[in-house]
Amino acid sequence: MVHYWSNKIQPLLPGWSHPLWGSRNRPEEAKIDTYEVMFIVIPELDEEQVENTIGRFRTIIERTGGEVGEVNNWGRRKLAYEIDHRADGFYYVMEFTAGERTLPELKRILRVSDDVLRYMIVKLPPTYARKLLPETAEVSG
Amino acid sequence: MGRRRSGPSRRERPVKSKPCVFCKENIAYVDYKDYNMLRRFTSDRGKIRARRVTGLCPQHQREAATAIKRAREMALLPYVVGR
């Protein structure tokens, strides 16, 4: 005979998780986070060298088990303020998913890359619907 | 002459409840890349405007402030204008 309260132990809904246990019971359903990285590459390079630089980061992401999604080239843009006496830079935005080693490795490489002025890695909210990015290339020379 | 004590010194105005622009447009994530939109929430000196000026709800004011700070770090927005 089944105890009358045994159904109370069952999860109420399929997606239900215990407030304390969380989703520890279902690790295989762990969500894959999407990240986005923005680079500012130094303006001294030409387009081809910039593409090579970006390709380098792409291989790092792919080698460490991540996957590169959309890559957006904003082109050469004026900076809002000078960084290292440079008034403009090449902006690239790249969406990717990360493997276990991707983020520390990417950060390490970016830190030692002299051709990257700045970078920023942001985790995108899972519900974020992709919207159109500003099509900008304000400075071209 | 001392301060006037009698009566409300400030006229009570009817409060107009204006929905926050992000709530109105149903924006879930304030993107730091959309710096032209964020520019609306900064003063002409580049400072982040107060909530009473921007009219944003607490959640979106916080998110907009974070987004502005991120945009500043990536030189999309200035830290200070006209130094």
One pLDDT digit (tens) per residue for chain A, 141 residues: 445 554 444 544 555 554 554 544 444 446 688 999 999 999 999 989 999 999 999 999 999 999 999 999 999 999 999 999 999 999 999 999 998 899 999 999 999 999 999 999 999 988 764 543 334 444 433
B43: confidence class by pLDDT, cuts 50, 70, 90 = very high
**Which one-letter DSSP state was computed for residue B7?**
S
Instruction: Give the gap in angstroms from C-alpha A128 to the nearest C-alpha of chain B.
Output: 7
Interface of A with B in 87-106 (CB under 8 A): 89, 93
Q: Which residue in A has a C-alpha nearest to residue B36's C-alpha? A: A134
A45 burial via Cβ count (<10 Å: 0-12, 13-18, 19+): middle
Of B28, B36, B74, the CB nearest to A118: B74
The interface predicted TM-score of the complex, written ipTM, equals 0.73
| Residues of chain A contacting B79 with CB distance shorter than 8 Å | 80-81
**pLDDT bracket for residue B27 (50, 70, 90):** confident
Q: B-chain residues within 8 Å CB-CB of A93? A: 33
Looking at residue A65, what DSSP letter applies? T
Rounded to a whole number of angstroms, the CA Rg of chain A reads 22
- Tally C-beta pairs within 8 A across A and B: 39
Chain A residue closest in CA terms to B28: A128
Task: Please tell me the predicted confidence (pLDDT) of residue B28.
Answer: 86
Buried b (16+ CB within 10 A) or exposed e, B24-41: eeebeebbbbbbebbeeb
Q: Which pLDDT belongs to residue B12? A: 72
